[in-house]
């Protein structure tokens, strides 16, 4: 049976991918989960595993070509790999089972296992009545397995007809148990972590109804949260989505109206890289939120003295330096605990208050662009733990070794522009978050102290950019105050480990 492999969705806001290298060639035997092709995106380079076992029959996209999500990449012959194939190939098994059922007793034993697949087309409308209509464009990632279900639907329905005349007793079972087994047994095929399954169970959601956006259709926590929000939205008001579409039209059409570009002698057109194009799209999307900014000074003198006292031992123990960035990240974490409303996201249905604290850390990649890996569960890390995580994501970002998981799930972003020498910047809030903090360069300045004396102090500006739909000016000021106070007091004696 032919199986079509399509370009999966490789992450949030990723709309296309470039074929870097085919790891298998036409005619090669491929086992399920064998690494098949290297795909380059604006965010990461990743290797896509084969979702089926069989023979690679034809490659549709050559190396170096850039194609959108959902594009047909290759065709497999799964005739010799149906045991390990995905539901698309597994749909063939019920056909063989039904033809063999009249031969003997094994048929009834196979009927419950085979029944879910023929009944799957019948069960699709209820599930798809929610998922596709609500998720829309997110259908392409699992297209490697989903389209094959309709292909097998017609033959399966014609083959499914024989079971009722075959034996009267199993027929009621196949009708009642088929719908149950059409969903429940397939739960083991759904790729998701235990935590994600638990979240779905706590909200009474059948995880098999959720279209996964991860590799191979993996269901992520964000997929479940989006499904919950969309389900609530559909229950409340159907017209709300119509209202949302109207304000989006100007923002989408705005980038089309470009200012005239002068044509001068010696001009050179530099093609847009995937990363540059993605940055442009993300920034336009981010700027659709009403932005506001606030600035506050921080006296870093005592903290820098404390850092000098502990950095030698840290360097000897860890093998790398203890950067001020670790102290700033720790201050942000503690401030988010003090002002939790900043760790939120805007939706038309309401504000989502995040319990997890995942800190995005902006990393500049020179002229290539900017990338924001995420430090998960930052509130559970010590000062040394944060320093290790910062060094890890920065090193892997510059080496282009970040994974898709490294770039997802951020709830707040820290933009440490200090090493670049800036004094005041105007950071843009990443889409899906409520705020971002920039920590500027630490500079010695003449300062008038509380005792009316003039002293040389090491001063730093911190700037918060915030979505004014979620965060008000007073809340932003409280957050900056919490960051400043921690750096000027607790930060001067915080345990490193």
Task: Give pLDDT tens digits for 345-376.
Answer: 999 999 999 999 999 999 999 888 889 999 99
Kindly state the tokens that stand for 487: 């750096």
How many angstroms separate the CA atoms of 411 and 344, rounded?
7
267 is catalytic: no
Identify the pLDDT of residue 279.
86
Q: Which helix (H) or strand (E) holds 46?
A: strand 45-49
Choose the catalytic residue: 28, 377, 392, 472. 472
Cα distances (angstroms) measured from residue 378 to each of 358, 414, 476? 6, 12, 20
Distances in Å between the alpha carbon of 317 and those of 51, 159, 310? 44, 68, 11
**pLDDT value of residue 145:** 41
Question: Six-digit token pair at 314?
Answer: 């840290």
> Among residues 34, 77, 405, 468, which one is catalytic?
468
Q: What is the DSSP letter of 461?
A: E
d(CA 198, CA 395): 33
**Cα–Cα dist 395/76, whole Å:** 38
Phi, then psi, of 280 in degrees rounded to 5: -60, -45
- What's the helix, strand, coil split of the chain in %, to 5? 45, 20, 35
Got the DSSP string for 383-440? HHHHHHHHHHHHHHHHTT---GGGGS--SEEEEE-GGGT-S---PPPPTT-SEEEEE-
Q: Which residues of the chain have pLDDT under 50?
A: 81-188, 238-255
Enumerate residues 6+ apart whose C-beta is below 8 A from 371: 43, 275, 362, 363, 365, 397, 402, 407
**Among this protein's residues, is 472 annotated catalytic?**
yes
- Tell the residue number behind the tokens 């002002």, with chain if given: 339
């Amino acid at each position: 049976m032919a199986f079509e492999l399509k370009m999966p969705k490789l992450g949030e806001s990723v709309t296309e991918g470039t074929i870097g290298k085919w790891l298998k060639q036409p005619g090669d035997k491929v086992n399920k989960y064998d690494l098949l092709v290297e795909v380059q995106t604006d965010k990461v380079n990743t290797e896509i595993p084969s979702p089926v076992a069989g023979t690679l029959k034809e490659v549709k996209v050559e190396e170096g070509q850039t194609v959108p999500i959902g594009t047909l990449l290759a065709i497999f012959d799964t005739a010799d790999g149906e045991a390990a194939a995905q539901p698309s190939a597994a749909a063939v098994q019920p056909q063989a089972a039904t033809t063999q059922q009249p031969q003997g007793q094994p048929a009834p034993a196979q009927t419950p296992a085979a029944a879910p697949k023929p009944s799957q087309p019948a069960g699709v409308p209820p599930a798809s009545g929610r998922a596709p209509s609500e998720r829309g464009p997110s259908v392409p990632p699992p297209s490697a397995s989903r389209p094959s279900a309709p292909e097998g639907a017609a033959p399966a329905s014609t083959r499914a007809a024989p079971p009722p005349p075959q034996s009267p007793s199993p027929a009621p079972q196949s009708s009642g148990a088929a719908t149950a087994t059409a969903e429940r047994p397939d739960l083991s095929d759904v790729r998701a972590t235990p935590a994600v399954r638990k979240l779905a169970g706590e909200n009474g959601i059948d995880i098999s109804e959720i279209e996964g956006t991860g590799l191979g259709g993996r269901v992520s926590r964000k997929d479940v949260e989006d499904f919950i929000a969309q389900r609530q939205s559909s229950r409340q008001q159907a017209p709300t989505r119509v209202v949302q579409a109207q304000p989006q039209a100007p923002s989408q059409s705005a980038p089309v109206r470009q200012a005239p570009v002068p044509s001068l002698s010696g001009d050179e057109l530099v093609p847009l890289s995937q990363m540059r194009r993605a940055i442009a799209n993300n920034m336009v999307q981010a700027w659709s939120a009403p932005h506001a900014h606030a600035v506050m000074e921080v006296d870093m003198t005592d903290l820098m003295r404390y850092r000098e006292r502990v950095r030698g031992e840290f360097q000897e123990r860890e093998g790398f330096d203890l950067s001020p960035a670790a102290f700033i990240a720790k201050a942000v974490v503690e401030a988010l605990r003090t002002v939790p409303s900043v760790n939120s996201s805007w939706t038309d249905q309401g504000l989502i208050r995040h319990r997890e604290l995942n800190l995005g850390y902006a990393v500049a990649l020179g002229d290539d662009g900017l990338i924001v890996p995420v430090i998960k569960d930052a509130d559970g890390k010590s000062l040394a733990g944060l320093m290790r995580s910062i060094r890890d994501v920065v090193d892997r970002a510059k080496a282009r070794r970040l994974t898709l998981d490294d770039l997802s799930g951020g709830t707040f972003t820290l933009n440490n522009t200090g090493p670049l020498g800036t004094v005041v910047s105007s950071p843009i809030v990443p889409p899906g978050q409520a705020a971002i903090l920039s920590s500027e360069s630490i500079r010695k300045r003449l300062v008038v102290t509380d005792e009316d004396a003039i002293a040389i102090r090491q001063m730093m500006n911190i700037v918060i950019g915030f979505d004014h739909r979620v965060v008000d000016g007073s809340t932003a000021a409280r957050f900056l105050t919490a960051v400043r106070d921690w750096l000027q007091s607790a930060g001067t004696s915080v345990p490193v480990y």
